[in-house]
Structure 1
Amino acid sequence: MPNLSDVTRGRLLYGGDYNPEQWPEETWHEDVRLMKDAGVNSVTLGVFSWSKLEPRPGERDFGWLDRLMDLMHGNGIGVVLATPTASPPPWLGRLHPDTLPRDEDGRIEWWGGRQHFSHSSATYRRHAAAITEDLAARYATHPALTLWHINNEYCTYDHGDEAATRFRAWLRARYGTLEALNTAWGTVFWSQGYGDWEEVMPPRRAHYLKNPAQVLDFRRFTSDMLLECYAAERDIVRRHTPHVPVTTNFMPLWFGQDAWRWAEEEDVVSVDLYPDPRDPLGAQHGALVQDMTRSQARGPWMLMEQAAGPVNWRGVNHPKPRGLNRLWSLQAVARGADAVCYFQWRQSRQGAEKFHSGMIGHAGEEGRTFQEVKRLGADLGTLAPQVSGRPVDASVAILHDWHSWWAGAQEAHPSRRVEYPEILRAWHRALWEANLPTDFAHPEHDLSRYRVVVVPQLYLLTDAAIANLLAHVRRGATLVCGFLTGVADEDDRIRPGGMDARLRALFGIRTLHEWWPLEAGESADCGDWRGTLWSEEIEPDGTADETLPYRGGELDGLPAVLRKGRAWYLSTLPEPEALRTLLARAAAEAGVRPVLDGLPAGVEAVRRGEVLFLLNHGRDPVTVQVPGTHRDLLTGETVTGRVTLGRRGVAVLAS
């Protein structure tokens, strides 16, 4: 299959969503002039153009897109051509109301926004296939076409009747019989036993708590139905253009989509990334998403969307301070991105996103935003020969699984304060601040390349995943595992003992007596540090090599942390500095070293291939000690022994 390197060919793609149908045609030529001035070499066309391409059922208006494709090619700008199926035209919903999704109360989601389609609607799928077929046939041989972009940010749910029919079919394929379904869902509880498939419904509004196994399977079903929609359009464009890679853009840590499975169906893995510029940990959030996307791609990936300035959906939408757009963009390149793109090229004057920034803002080409966009384009052109296609190597893996997240996020658990994404961020932050390169992996993936595997929390673990972890530790790897892990099997059935017996033996736990969640503002004294969010009443079996006890309270003297050989178990969430120290120790004992020792606070070091990126996320200049002599690719200067980074400064060093 084709991949991103077939598009980049030693370059870094730079550009973004271009929506020229919002502007008079004379503006297009001005746009091209400014794109060339900024170093733009790629634009995405047609993402939300269905009503423009098909103004009435069966009609086609490709003339404007023909002219744009020719204009881009004539100016050396490649086109990522999107299928427009994320936002159906109003006529589709009016003539075919079965294409509109329904929420759990049965209310229709009408046209007038976007993503107003039912993933299960045969009518929607038929019309989406038709416009995709004609688009692919028309532009299959156009020289501007470099990449296909299917739909946009798949994120819809549907609880309607057609979704119910497909849900039953999905369940039949998964379980085979109603008896097996009843067993998996535990329907003996609350008299929920099903005697006919027609009784099985999506988890619609209920008087009280819903069946958690039913909700879990509906999450799985929804991800699979959206994937079917993607695959149907992908297969159409592949038939016309087998040489052109295909992608669709993920949203970072999107709850409704099993991105591990989706990534296997893409030629190029791409993501949209919008950290809050006011968030003091915005750079760490970016690094987490970048590490996860690179791991899903198993190599270079595409930053499909980011903001050049403010967004429009937060309560208060702050612009990016001077230099932050460049810093975060180069961070993405450091962590494996071979494409840096935006939503969007020119800021809209109308519509719901008119206050969302563009590469050209309302201030025009003299505005600070565009001037910074130009500088970044020059930087990317300079760096491309040295970094495009190069790997980012990591010896530490964080395990993450959407199915575990879906199961753990259910109602009626011991604590509503336990939010899986926040736990994942806390553990990644500890590794990021320790300057340890990190991949993400699925718990059933091959882990043999990683000396250290960390599990922030995996409430649900399959037997295959548990066997994989045990085998990895037997091979000599280090495992560091967080609380509330291995509690449930794949049907969300609590394992005997409250944690899988194999894991208890691995960590030196005889009995897990009780979970002791902590209230807001409450913490557990663990001696030199404090535990937050959670604690557990654990009775060790006497085989652990090291224990760190709770001090005081009901759990006084019981282990907060156990280490048995190379396996660690944390029954609480240590405060940030303590978690960083613990993970750094585990890594050091496993022979994993930071990219660079002795970094000043706020400085990130990432090695991509043979090139070292130094990124200053602080507001003040800093000096970084670097052994040997290097050339800064961004300035051309020779650096010996140390380098000074200005406010939000970046150095890219080649030996």
Structure 2
Amino acid sequence: MFTMPIPGISLGCDYNPEQWSPDVWREDVALMRRAGVDLVAVNIFGWSNLEPSPGRYHFDDLDEVVGLLHDNGIKVNLGTGTSSPPPWLSTLYPEILPAAADGTLRYPGGRQAWCPSSPVFRERAFALVEQVAQRYGEHPAVALWHVSNELGCHNALCYCEASADAFRNWLRERYRKIETLNEAWGTSFWSQRYGDWSEIQPPRLALSLRNPAQIVDFHRFSSDELLGYYRGETEILRRYSAAKVTTNFMVTAHIRNLDYWSWAPEMDVVANDHYLDHRLGDPVAELAFAADLTRGLAAGKPWMLMEQAAGAVNWQPHNLTKAPGEMIRNSLTHVARGADSLCFFQWRASAQGAEKFHSAMLPHAGTDTVAWREVLRLSETLDRIGEVAGTQVESDVALVFSWESWWSAEGEARPSQAVTYLDQVHKAHRALRELGVTVDVVAPGADLSEYKLVVVPCLYMVSDADAEKFEDYAAAGGSLLVTFFSGIVDERDRVRLGGYPGAFKNVLGVHGEEFAPMLPGHQVQLSNGATGTLWTERLRTTTAETIATYSDGPLPGVPAITRNVLGEGTAWYVATELDPRGLRELVRNAVTEAGVTPAGPESNGDLEVVRRSGDGRSYLFVVNHGTTPVAIEAGHDLVTGVPITEVAAGGVAVIKEERK
């Protein structure tokens, strides 16, 4: 059985004691005990405190904080302290500073002012990790190691000369011969053919459009480069400690530079940071998708929410606080979707610095506050539902997600700038969620045999091997639903010739001649009553049946939705961006035909119903984001401790089910 660093459903936080005096440390630890905090992350940004000048280390303060937490029965998630270098490092070695795509340097004063490929930075950072690991590697308080922090949040793509050298080395390893690279990148175009590796540069800003295959490879390189850095720290930690090692992912709508499918197997525990993003139309729906994707990265095992906000963040244009009960609903949504640990940034709200207006478990106003009482209520709730820990989420529907398609589908030159990859993914996930269907998010190439339905939104880039798996899945009796702009290019970003949707023509039984995007704000009517926006295409069926055609617009009478029978299975294709109701109707048909049983009733997104089970146990999570009560089948609610028949407006319930 997979185990987390802390038993039960643990509560944790980031703590930055270097911002406070020792008397505040003692007050904070006493309040942490009162709040039921199990795990505290410290030394996340501690480098300048631990090494105030080159090679001179000072551990007295951290010793006291770790000891204080340990004496109070609180486990430590110990940061390596390397996430942001101290000023002396960039002063002595300015070559560690990262360069933006226009070639200009980015200077200290914020955080992550370092190049992932800098050998000087790695040498100094690894020296610090060695010191920290030697000192605390066997400390009984250390339950988890926290490598750096949000790797690649700001510095994932560096275009300096050190990065250029590392990029060339990565390309040599990948392609072996310069002729192979030329073929992969299509360098015959615009006279870009390379004669030697030394001629290759990172894809810095140019006067015109850049080579899209080069840009995708630079994304791959950048993700691998930071993963290599993570491995470097981890290797040191494992020499001195048996504690689990991880770093915090950023599975969220505005961070896209790391391919976490390649990172996840390196983690002892998969951990994610997630904040409600009010720049989106439906922040709660995005939260549910991010939680499902994080669970996918954890291969269905329990995972950690390493950071969330008790209230408002400080980095969006409009930083909305959370209404009473909202933080608990958000938290239980993460738990419902597989999180066995909930942690916050941060414990005590900062009085100074760039994040002084970011919310915390302990706000500026202290303990006589709604925010503090919400923290206490959440802690009590997690204690009551602790027996859920270790169970896994039930799902027989998969949604395929690809960071490589995200990078490549949003290239500089594409059929429509209005079509964005993540938006199409979110729309498909939202339709399933509103139908009460729980979704596993999986990588291209994943084993699909256990799923009744597989949804493939906008999978622009796909290899031959992965495309074959989709066809095999459908032929073996599975149900496949593919949306437009899928299967268009191979892994080199080379268009698959012979008609669209490229890799999926055979399984879908269609043949596309030409894309016909629409201007934003325009729409086309479909014969089944739905409407489409942004995209149409000149399409004909080969073996598929036509479910709906365009009634007007540029392509009247042309198929817009098709269904193909392949072997024992079926494959649906959607050649336009359907309106929300139209998409939900189509997905409902696919769900019903595939024999999928939703975990809960349909809703407008106000209701989350997810089942976790394992070892003979079963629990139904019901999170009511709406303004009216929701009736449920009578059951014993772990949250309230009594049998209930409805979940109040804005309420949560965890129903312990009797296994039949």
- The match for 2:40 is 43
Distance of 1:418 and 1:135 partners within structure 2: 47
Residue type of the partner of 1:608?
A: R
The 10-residue stretch of structure 1 (498-507 or 71-80) with the greater mean CA deviation from structure 2: 498-507
Distance of 1:71 and 1:53 partners within structure 2: 18
- The match for 1:74 is 71
**Aligned partners of 2:98 and 2:158 also within 8 Å:** yes
Q: Are 1:166 and 2:166 an aligned pair?
A: yes
Among residues 126, 130, 134, which one is paired with 1:133 in the alignment? 130
- The match for 1:338 is 340
Instruction: Map 1:447-596; keep pairs closer than 5 Å.
Output: 447-499=448-500, 503-509=504-510, 511-527=511-527, 528-541=529-542, 543-565=543-565, 566-596=570-600
Instruction: Map 1:320-469; keep pairs closer than 5 Å.
Output: 320-385=322-387, 387-469=388-470
Q: Taking structure 1 as the reference length, what is the TM-score of the superposition?
A: 0.96
Distance of 1:392 and 1:413 partners within structure 2: 38
Residue type of the partner of 2:246?
A: T
**Aligned partners of 1:99 and 1:123 also within 8 Å:** yes
- The match for 1:234 is 234
Query: Which sections of structure 1, spanning at least 5 residues, go unmatched?
Result: none
Distance of 1:416 and 1:209 partners within structure 2: 14
User: What SS class does the counterpart of residue 266 from structure 2 fall into?
Assistant: coil
How far 1:498 sits from its partner (Å)?
Answer: 4.0
How far 1:354 sits from its partner (Å)?
Answer: 0.2
Distance of 2:647 and 2:206 partners within structure 1: 60
Change (3 A) 1:616 1:448: same
Change (3 A) 1:279 1:44: same
**Aligned partners of 2:434 and 2:603 also within 8 Å:** no
User: What SS class does the counterpart of residue 431 from structure 2 fall into?
Assistant: helix
Change (3 A) 1:5 1:411: same
How far 1:580 sits from its partner (Å)?
Answer: 1.3
Among residues 621, 626, 632, which one is paired with 2:637 in the alignment? 632
Residue type of the partner of 2:24?
A: T
**Aligned partners of 2:622 and 2:652 also within 8 Å:** yes
1:531-582, Cα deviation, whole Å (9 max, x unpaired): 12211110212x2234311102221111001101210111011111111121
**Aligned partners of 2:600 and 2:608 also within 8 Å:** no
- The match for 1:225 is 225
- The match for 2:107 is 110
Residue type of the partner of 2:599?
A: V
Distance of 2:603 and 2:547 partners within structure 1: 31
**Aligned partners of 2:624 and 2:652 also within 8 Å:** yes
User: What SS class does the counterpart of residue 158 from structure 1 fall into?
Assistant: coil
- The match for 1:621 is 628
Q: Identity, % of aligned pairs?
A: 44
Distance of 1:293 and 1:632 partners within structure 2: 26
Residue type of the partner of 1:112?
A: G
1:40-89, Cα deviation, whole Å (9 max, x unpaired): 11100011110001000001111111111111111110000011111000
1:87-107, Cα deviation, whole Å (9 max, x unpaired): 000111110111111112221
1:239-280, Cα deviation, whole Å (9 max, x unpaired): 211x31111111124310001001011111111111136866
1:10-51, Cα deviation, whole Å (9 max, x unpaired): x11212100011001001111111111111111000111100
Distance of 1:519 and 1:652 partners within structure 2: 46
- The match for 1:54 is 51
- The match for 2:601 is 597
Distance of 2:605 and 2:184 partners within structure 1: 50
How far 1:597 sits from its partner (Å)?
Answer: 3.3
**Aligned partners of 1:334 and 1:613 also within 8 Å:** yes
Distance of 2:544 and 2:138 partners within structure 1: 65
**Aligned partners of 2:489 and 2:502 also within 8 Å:** no
**Aligned partners of 2:455 and 2:482 also within 8 Å:** yes
Distance of 1:250 and 1:276 partners within structure 2: 16
Q: Are 1:152 and 2:152 an aligned pair?
A: no
Distance of 1:362 and 1:61 partners within structure 2: 29
Distance of 1:414 and 1:313 partners within structure 2: 32
1:297-336, Cα deviation, whole Å (9 max, x unpaired): 0211100111101111111211111110111001111111
Change (3 A) 1:59 1:4: farther
1:178-207, Cα deviation, whole Å (9 max, x unpaired): 111111111111111111211100011211
Residue type of the partner of 1:621?
A: T
User: What SS class does the counterpart of residue 577 from structure 1 fall into?
Assistant: helix
- The match for 2:210 is 210
Residue type of the partner of 2:77?
A: V
**Aligned partners of 1:146 and 1:245 also within 8 Å:** yes
**Aligned partners of 1:291 and 1:439 also within 8 Å:** yes
Instruction: Map 1:189-338; keep pairs closer than 5 Å.
Output: 189-241=189-241, 243-253=242-252, 254-276=255-277, 281-298=282-299, 299-338=301-340
User: What SS class does the counterpart of residue 65 from structure 1 fall into?
Assistant: helix
Q: Are 1:650 and 2:652 an aligned pair?
A: yes
How far 1:438 sits from its partner (Å)?
Answer: 0.2
Aligned residues: 642
**Aligned partners of 2:4 and 2:302 also within 8 Å:** no
- The match for 1:83 is 80
Distance of 2:278 and 2:573 partners within structure 1: 35
**Aligned partners of 1:103 and 1:159 also within 8 Å:** yes
Aligned-CA RMSD value: 1.4
User: What SS class does the counterpart of residue 615 from structure 1 fall into?
Assistant: strand
- The match for 1:606 is 610
Residue type of the partner of 2:116?
A: H
How far 1:603 sits from its partner (Å)?
Answer: 1.6
Residue type of the partner of 1:245?
A: K
How far 1:171 sits from its partner (Å)?
Answer: 0.4
- The match for 1:99 is 96
Distance of 1:460 and 1:16 partners within structure 2: 38
**Aligned partners of 2:449 and 2:473 also within 8 Å:** yes
The 10-residue stretch of structure 1 (415-424 or 269-278) with the greater mean CA deviation from structure 2: 269-278
Query: Which sections of structure 2, spanning at least 5 residues, go unmatched?
Result: none
1:191-249, Cα deviation, whole Å (9 max, x unpaired): 111112111000112111111111111111100101111110011111211x3111111
Q: Taking structure 2 as the reference length, what is the TM-score of the superposition?
A: 0.95
Change (3 A) 1:280 1:520: closer
How far 1:652 sits from its partner (Å)?
Answer: 1.2
How far 1:6 sits from its partner (Å)?
Answer: 4.5
Distance of 2:453 and 2:639 partners within structure 1: 34
Distance of 1:558 and 1:150 partners within structure 2: 54
How far 1:499 sits from its partner (Å)?
Answer: 2.9
User: What SS class does the counterpart of residue 453 from structure 1 fall into?
Assistant: strand
1:98-150, Cα deviation, whole Å (9 max, x unpaired): 11111122211111110111010111111111101110110011111000111
**Aligned partners of 1:219 and 1:256 also within 8 Å:** yes
User: What SS class does the counterpart of residue 440 from structure 2 fall into?
Assistant: strand
